Amino acid sequence: MNYLSITQRYYAHWLGVPAAQLNCSEVCFAESAERGVAQKGYPQALPLYIYCGDTLFAKPIVVSYSRTIVTEINAVRGSLQPGMSIDEIIILITKHFKTSVNHNSKFCYQESLEHIDVAKVIRLETNHYRQYYDFFMALHTDAKPDSWLEEYFSDICRSGFAFGIFDNAKLVCVSDVPDMPYLSDECQEIGINTLKDYRCCGYAKAVAHASARAIVSNGKCPQWSCAADNGASAKLARNLGFMKLADVVTVGV
């Protein structure tokens, strides 16, 4: 499986450009109707989506934008130059849009070269719902999920990509199955959550690795994304065999 090609096509769908554009170290602007739509799994539309490639062979800057912000985009066209750092881009966008931006790191799977012990990991089934409910509430103490959580848990169990580790009868680490707005038949992102008292024990690494193996076994390409300031998630991604692919800067409505 060509993980890089599939991952680039995934982000090309986000951007509304040909995937080949992500192999060019240049600045590209693309007006896209998709920027006016809240994509599956996202609570709001993202009128501005900037992809800044970060690989040895290409460092493209692709600006995908909604028609509603053409004036702001025209104001920055001349200032965005090839080779600009992500920090320079964030300063520029913040200045012209007069709002805060979201900055995420995107990764591409390469497969782990190290042995990762998954002996304690089990695939979650619908009969684990009570333990999952307790796990969820421990993470989200103010949540009121009774109207939707069981159906959600059933859905991620049916995917075959939800795994967990138990401490006796207590579920302490779970791999999530985020919605994929594009290429859902080819890609699956991995989400991971661990109860506070069980972090730094290698549980997240084992569970996420089991999920990645299941995704690949089902003919799909694993995806990983995290907030740029989430060093723990970025380190975990690298330990699992992911490489840094790009920075993405977005502005919501």
Q: Mention the CATH class of domain 121-224.
A: alpha beta
Which two three-digit tokens encode residue 131? 């333990």
% of the chain with per-residue pLDDT over 90: 86
Query: Residue 15: is its pLDDT beyond 80?
Result: yes
Query: Residue 195: is its pLDDT beyond 90?
Result: yes
Closest CA to 168 of 131, 205, 213, 222: 131
Closest CA to 249 of 101, 91, 95: 101
12's CB contacts (< 8 A; 6+ apart) are 18, 19, 21, 22
Query: Residue 85: is its pLDDT beyond 90?
Result: yes
Closest CA to 111 of 246, 225, 226, 217: 217
- 12 backbone dihedrals φ, ψ, rounded to 5°: -65, -35
DSSP string, the chain: --HHHHHHHHHHHHHTS-GGGGGS-SEEEEE-GGGGS--TT-SS--SEEEEEE-SSS---EEEEE-GGGHHHHHHHTTT--TT--HHHHHHHHHHHHTS--EEEEEEEE----S----TTEEE--GGGHHHHHHHHHHH-TT---TTTHHHHHHHHHHHT--EEEEETTEEEEEEE----SS-TTTEEE-EEEE-GGGTTSSHHHHHHHHHHHHHHHTT-EEEEEEETT-HHHHHHHHHTTEEEEEEEEEE--
Which two three-digit tokens encode residue 80? 């965005």
Query: Residue 248: is its pLDDT beyond 80?
Result: yes
Query: Residue 29: is its pLDDT beyond 90?
Result: yes
Widest pairwise Cα distance in the chain: 60
Q: Domain map of the chain by residue range?
A: 3-110+247-251, 121-224
- Report pTM: 0.93
CA atoms of 162 and 125, how far apart (whole Å): 8
Query: For residue 112, what pLDDT band results from cuts at 50, 70 and 90?
Result: confident
CA atoms of 86 and 71, how far apart (whole Å): 22
